[in-house]
Structure 1
Amino acid sequence: MPHNLTKQPRRRHPQRSQYGLTLVELLVGIAIGLLLIVGATSLFLSNLDASRRLLLEARLNQNLRSAAELITRDLRRASYWDQAVPKMGSVDNNPHQGITLDGTSDISYQFDAPAGAASAAGFALTDDYRIRMTIGQTTQDLTDPAVAKVISFNIIESKNKIDIGMQKIPAATPNTECLTERRYDITIEAEAPSDANVKRRLETAVRVRNDRVGNCS
């Protein structure tokens, strides 16, 4: 059989219509990719900022709570006199019964320390936005300036006088004695030094355990 009769004809593969992306498709793909990247970046930055603010709020809140706890705990012992019971009913008055409130943010008082010596103490808001505690000759910052910028420290005093119906000694003194209950409402407002939008307000109340006894007038 002739060779040319048995040879199969060569099949031609159809030519492909394209070998890649067109310029328009490439630009559209890049644009979509950029939009996804921008969205993901924006979400990441938003979460990062929220985490940063939560951390600032937590540190600020903790710092204010620690300061308020120290203030309330120490102020309760104001006017403590270790001779109050032995000299009850005598003409001697408690030398520490006075509590001085200077303005709205400075308070000072005295008490008998465990060692027997009288100690002066107090709290005040400084010019550089710190709450400072003073005991004797020692001062200590209760708030950390790197964490809290205290913009307001207010103390409001309220008194309740109770006539205990006891004549002073000597009896020639006509006035009766009154027991004065003293309460202090304390408000602290502060913001984070690195972000003024992060603010906290804390309120607490203190009742002095050592009531003042004196003239009812």
Structure 2
Amino acid sequence: MLRMKRQAGFTLIELMIALLLGLIVTAIAISMYVSTLGITRQTVTSVRLSQEMRTVMDMMVRDIRRSGYWAGGSLTGNPHAAVVSGGLPVNVFTSPKSSDSDSCVVLSYDYDADGAATIEHLMGYRMDDAQGAVEVLWASSSTLTGDVDCSVLPSNWQNLTDNSTTVITQLLFQRLPSAASFASAAARSIRITLRGESSSDDRLVKELIEEVRVRNDI
């Protein structure tokens, strides 16, 4: 007589253990995936913050460095040399929209190098605490003939930074002591401090500091 073979299988306990191990492995895999996504998102946010702040800083450095430039035939009669309040081509003021002192800079230079004996271009950068942004103003005007400061400039300032991605928390301009140089000229420098954070993650903070020499100071 043929004997029936007993079929061997998993017991209930073995199935439960296998299921538990499977769930643990799945949970570890999901956790690693979520962690990788978080690191990637944080990296992208950090890069975006750095790029936006660096772009803004480079723009301010470029314009401040060129303050007072005039393509005219001589240094005498330079309309940009003393247009800003204080008799300077560039000067530092307090922004009317910031609680910090020295949070605005105003300057003038012959941006299109046409050498005309008029004020070709006035511009300014300032801090806006309420919006958490750097504001910029390019004011092509020949009506503002002198003694211009941050409050005299027109009101059509525009946000230079996007506060939906980057919140600027500090913008400071510091005039550094002048140093004598060749030909009896004075080399004026301005230190810029720009500090900001990501609008989506306030743990991501960036600070940039640049010292700019005004090349056309006389």
TM-score range, shorter chain: 0.7 to 0.9
* Match status 1:162 vs 2:180: yes
Matched-pair contact (CA < 8 Å) for 1:159–1:180: no
User: How many corresponding residue pairs?
Assistant: 186
Matched-pair contact (CA < 8 Å) for 2:181–2:187: no
Q: Max radius of gyration: which structure?
A: 1
Q: Which residue of 2 aligns with 1:150?
A: 168
Q: Equivalent residue of 1:195, what SS? A: coil
Question: What displacement does 1:59 show?
Answer: 0.9
Q: Which residue of 2 aligns with 1:95?
A: 82
Q: Equivalent residue of 1:143, what SS? A: coil
Q: Which residue of 2 aligns with 1:209?
A: 215
Query: Hey, which bits of structure 1, 4+ residues long, moved more than 6 A?
Result: none
- CA-based RMSD: 2.6
Distance 1:23 1:95, change over 3 A: same
Q: Counterparts in 2 of 1:107-122, with a 5 A limit?
A: 107-114=105-112, 116=116, 117-118=118-119, 119-122=121-124
**TM-score with structure 2 setting the length:** 0.75
Cα deviations by residue, 1:60-83 (Å, 9 ceiling, x for unpaired): 111111111111111112123455
Q: Which residue of 2 aligns with 1:11?
A: 2
* Match status 1:132 vs 2:135: yes
Question: What displacement does 1:56 show?
Answer: 0.3
Distance 1:109 1:20, change over 3 A: same
Higher strand share: 1
Question: What displacement does 1:113 show?
Answer: 4.6
Question: What displacement does 1:152 show?
Answer: 1.4
With 63-72 and 200-209 compared, the bigger mean Cα shift is at 200-209
Question: What displacement does 1:163 show?
Answer: 8.0
Cα deviations by residue, 1:105-160 (Å, 9 ceiling, x for unpaired): 21112234535331321110112111111121553322121221111112221122
Q: Which residue of 2 aligns with 1:59?
A: 48
Distance 1:29 1:146, change over 3 A: same
Distance 1:46 1:163, change over 3 A: closer
Q: Which residue of 2 aligns with 1:171?
A: none
Distance 1:86 1:21, change over 3 A: closer
**TM-score with structure 1 setting the length:** 0.75
| Structure 1 residue runs without a partner (length 5+) | 1-9, 166-177, 213-217
* Match status 1:68 vs 2:71: no
* Match status 1:104 vs 2:108: no
Question: What displacement does 1:19 show?
Answer: 4.3
Identity of aligned residues (%): 25
Distance (whole Å) between structure 2 residues aligned to residue 65 and residue 205 of structure 1: 14
Matched-pair contact (CA < 8 Å) for 1:179–1:211: yes
Q: Equivalent residue of 1:69, what SS? A: helix
Q: Counterparts in 2 of 1:72-83, with a 5 A limit?
A: 72-83=61-72
* Match status 1:37 vs 2:26: yes
- Structure 1 counterpart of 2:158, which letter? Q
Matched-pair contact (CA < 8 Å) for 1:63–1:147: no
| Structure 2 residue runs without a partner (length 5+) | 94-100, 140-153
